Amino acid sequence: MRGTGKADVFVMLAHPVGHAKSPGIFNQIFEEKGLDSLMVPLSCRPEDFDLFWDGLTAAENVRGVIISVPYKTRVFEKCAAAHNRAARVRSANSVRRQADGSWYADNFDGVGFMDGLAAGGHQVRGKRILQVGAGGAGASLAYCLAEAGAAEIRLADVDRDRAQALADLVAAAYPGCRIAVGAADPTGMDMAINATPMGLKPTDPLPMDTAALTPDMTVVDIIMEPAETPLLREAARIGCRIQPGRPMMDFQTEAMARFFDIERKDRGDG
């Protein structure tokens, strides 16, 4: 029986939260595994975040939280400790409760993204890559692409200062990767990645100049729904190899389930 008074409670936090898929995915996992656990979608106004987080921390049976826009940075700042993946971008997309009641942060955006690329047969080492988006998810992706051996990253973002700050940090950590801020233009690139929310709504503009796409390029979108974004539809029309956002979510889910230790196989908090 699920949802008893002894249930482990997990939260999906976003604003808005209506588009979030994690509650449905995790609740299905809990059902299949016969776990007395549930994940609840919650939202709050940004101006109420501090009050909300205090209440969530006081709720002793909340074991973990998945975080999406716009709270990844603010939640990270509430954590007592963090994995390097989260610390280097100062952004958390998952936090778990430690034995003393404090929060431990991690970030699986880059992990899920890279595992999804590998499963799709897409290579990163030695490639020239356009990445549009230097926000929470984009920061994780940039580090992981450089770590995986990308030869060059052209980083584009509407906030040029944010993009430059990220480029400087990634370059310092991985000097073998050439990374520079530039236009959302895939000319000369092997791969083009949309790491922005553009494409969630039908009225959104395309995140990059698709006129410069060529059939030898790979185009990746981190948006999970719609499965075929306008960018991917246009890229497929041109003849590019495409990678949708769902694999990134699937691999993140596996990593998060281990992180949360949903079956309580590991009682440690390290």
Our answer to whether residue 72 is catalytic in this structure is yes
pLDDT tens, residue by residue, 184-239 = 999 999 999 999 999 988 899 999 999 999 999 999 999 988 999 999 999 999 99
CA neighbor of 64 nearest in space, from 267, 268, 270, 256:
256
Query: Following CA atoms 169, 173, 174, 179 in sequence, which dihedral angle do they give, to the nearest 10 degrees?
Result: 0
26 within domain boundaries: yes
pLDDT tens, residue by residue, 135-170 = 888 999 999 999 999 999 999 999 999 999 999 999
Instruction: Assess whether pLDDT exceeds 60 at residue 102.
Output: yes
237 within domain boundaries: yes
Q: How confident is the model at residue 267 (pLDDT cuts 50, 70, 90)?
A: low
| Statement to judge: residues 33 and 121 lie in one domain | no
| Statement to judge: residues 123 and 81 lie in one domain | no
| Statement to judge: residues 98 and 150 lie in one domain | no
| Statement to judge: residues 80 and 198 lie in one domain | no
1 within domain boundaries: no
Q: How confident is the model at residue 6 (pLDDT cuts 50, 70, 90)?
A: very high
| Statement to judge: residues 151 and 241 lie in one domain | yes
Residue 60, domain CATH: 3.40.50.10860
| Statement to judge: residues 12 and 81 lie in one domain | yes
- CA quadruple 97, 98, 101, 105: dihedral positive or negative? negative
| Statement to judge: residues 84 and 132 lie in one domain | no
Q: How many domains does one find in the chain?
A: 2
C-alpha 184: how far from chain center = 20
| Statement to judge: residues 101 and 42 lie in one domain | yes
Report pLDDT for 55: 97
270 within domain boundaries: no
In degrees rounded to 5, what are phi and psi of residue 52? -60, -45
| Statement to judge: residues 115 and 238 lie in one domain | yes
Structural domain including 90 reads: 8-106
| Statement to judge: residues 59 and 144 lie in one domain | no
Report pLDDT for 270: 39
| Statement to judge: residues 71 and 114 lie in one domain | no
pLDDT tens, residue by residue, 36-68 = 999 999 999 999 999 999 999 999 999 999 999
35 within domain boundaries: yes
| Statement to judge: residues 16 and 88 lie in one domain | yes
266 within domain boundaries: no
User: Mean per-residue pLDDT for 9-25?
Assistant: 94
From 6, 21, 72, 78, active-site residue: 72
